[in-house]
Amino acid sequence: MRAGTRCVANSPAARDSTHVLFCRGGRWTKTLTFGEAARVIFAKTPTKVELVSKADVSTAAGTFFPAVTVRVLNPFGDGIEGAVVNLSTADSVGGAGIAGGLATPATTGPGGTLTFTPAANTSAGTLKLLASASNANGPTEPAVVSLTVTAGPVTNVAVVSGAGQSTVELTNFAQPVVIKASDAFGNGVSGLELATFSLNGCVTQAIGTPTSTTGAAGTASITLTGNLPFGMTTCSDTVATGRAAGSSPGTPGSPGSPSVTYSMNVTSIPLAP
């Protein structure tokens, strides 16, 4: 291959013993325009890492995120195969982090792309994943992915406060019973509907609140009322709160699994002397 010989249009640049050759007008030529020279000089110079996949991804604690793909570009927007990519995290909230799946530094493949599948740690929260390359001037503009680690399926329901109280019949207990629903790692599970029932029927949820729903921290405050059955003067009742099973508004089903039991005490209204 030498200057002046024929070439096929759009052939990539080639070399003879002394020059870079370009295919121009059907002939190999040693003449370089400024732009052509720049493309040769900076063909392997990273200037940016762009995100190919979604910018926001989420997964449950202790599981893998969807695959993330980035591409390393040179100044002309061409992908660079063999570019070195550095991966890092930032702005963690709630202890969220990466437990694996990030081999860094890593090298891009054909087209300048790199795909990886990070694994979430066991803490629910948010963080950012940054992918950058480097050139003679330092790190490039990174690609940024927002990651969200959510709570997994509920595995435990526990009493936070309010158990063991006493009240008289037909009145609410002084403090609500606070219940927390959590996953296998202790993360609060939000949006879980809870139902409450008592063994002896001495305790009911306040009128108008047949079920309760956990909030962002996985907790729900349940207002309970003393309700002695006919003929009873005192009642130490066992109360169960758990996932609402087979319930509909106003008619909750019995607590499903998981659930927690606790004691509440009710006495009759004192008779006037």
Q: Of 150, 182, 198, which one is at a domain's C-terminal end?
A: 150
Residue 146 lies in a domain: yes
Mark whether 77 and 58 lie in a shared domain: yes
> Residue 151's Cα: distance from chain center in Å?
8
**Identity of residue 162:** G
Residue 185 lies in a domain: yes
Q: Are 85 and 114 in contact (CB under 8 A)?
A: yes
Residue 9 lies in a domain: no
Mark whether 78 and 126 lie in a shared domain: yes
Residue 127 lies in a domain: yes
Mark whether 117 and 59 lie in a shared domain: yes
> Is the pLDDT assigned to residue 247 strictly greater than 50?
no
Q: At 237, which CATH number?
A: 2.60.40.10
What was the pLDDT predicted at 123? 97
Residue 19 lies in a domain: no
Question: In terms of residue numbers, what domain contains 53?
Answer: 48-150
Mark whether 138 and 160 lie in a shared domain: no
Q: Which two tokens stand for residue 258?
A: 């998981």
pLDDT tens digits for 181-195? 999 999 999 999 998
- The torsion angles phi and psi of 248, rounded to 5 degrees, stand at -135, 155
Residue 93 lies in a domain: yes
Mark whether 173 and 196 lie in a shared domain: yes
Q: Of 99, 127, 150, which one is at a domain's C-terminal end?
A: 150
Q: Are 159 and 262 in contact (CB under 8 A)?
A: yes
Mark whether 222 and 251 lie in a shared domain: yes
Residue 24 lies in a domain: no
Q: Is 99 exposed, middle or buried (0-12, 13-18, 19+ CB in 10 A)?
A: middle
pLDDT tens digits for 119-142? 999 999 999 999 999 887 788 889
> Is the pLDDT assigned to residue 271 strictly greater than 80?
no
Domain count of the chain?
A: 2
> Is the pLDDT assigned to residue 249 strictly greater than 60?
no
Q: Is 207 exposed, middle or buried (0-12, 13-18, 19+ CB in 10 A)?
A: exposed
Mark whether 163 and 262 lie in a shared domain: yes
What was the pLDDT predicted at 230? 85
Mark whether 107 and 160 lie in a shared domain: no
Neighbours of 36 (CB within 10 A): 15
Cα dihedral 209→213→217→223 (10° resolution): 20
Mark whether 185 and 168 lie in a shared domain: yes
Q: Of 121, 150, 179, which one is at a domain's C-terminal end?
A: 150
Mark whether 144 and 162 lie in a shared domain: no
Mark whether 184 and 132 lie in a shared domain: no
Beta strands (DSSP E) in 30-83 are 48-51, 56-60, 68-73
Mark whether 171 and 257 lie in a shared domain: yes
What was the pLDDT predicted at 153? 92
